[in-house]
Amino acid sequence: MFNEFKTFIARGNVLDLAVAVIIGAAFGKIVTSLTEDVIMPVIGKLFGGLDFSGYFLRMGPVPANYAGSVTDYAALKKAGVPLLGYGEFITQAANFIIVAFIIFLIVRAVNRLMPKAEAPVAAAPVEPADVTLLREIRDELKARPRI
């Protein structure tokens, strides 16, 4: 059983997958930091606020015993007020678009760096002898003068 496990782990695709998961997790942290700490504040500043996640619509009444701010999304959500948090959706959608674009750029760059595999040249199909003979007969008949 140990030898089978060792053979399974030693396969290239399992090791490649493990490396991809580790690098993907590290890359995910970098991209998250880029989007949350660099790009989203700039986008937020352009649209009049530093963070879209605070944009919401209240869909129900605030409890009578609620003592916090009626503009604090997190506190209202914690208090159980029904909210339509469209700002958080905008933030997550923008993060997704940015991450997808960065991944696109990386894949594009890697594809340009990798040598292109040459397509195998397809050999001309070998024609059966009887078909060749029939073609020759046809061509000979066409070449004869008509009477």
Q: In this structure, how many other beta carbons lie within 10 angstroms of the beta carbon of residue 73?
A: 19
Higher pLDDT, 27 or 118: 27
CATH architecture designation of domain 2-143: Orthogonal Bundle (1.10)
For 99-126, write each residue's pLDDT tens digit: 788 788 888 998 888 887 776 766 777 8
DSSP the chain: -HHHHHHHHHSHHHHHHHHHHHHHHHHHHHHHHIIIIIIHHHHHHHTTSS-GGG--EE-SPPPTT--S-TT-HHHHHHTT--EE-HHHHHHHHHHHHHHHHHHHHHHHHHHHHSPPPPPPPPPPPPPPHHHHHHHHHHHHHHHSPP-
pLDDT of residue 50: 56
For 39-75, write each residue's pLDDT tens digit: 777 877 787 765 677 788 998 888 888 888 888 888 8
Report CA torsion sign: 33, 35, 39, 43. negative
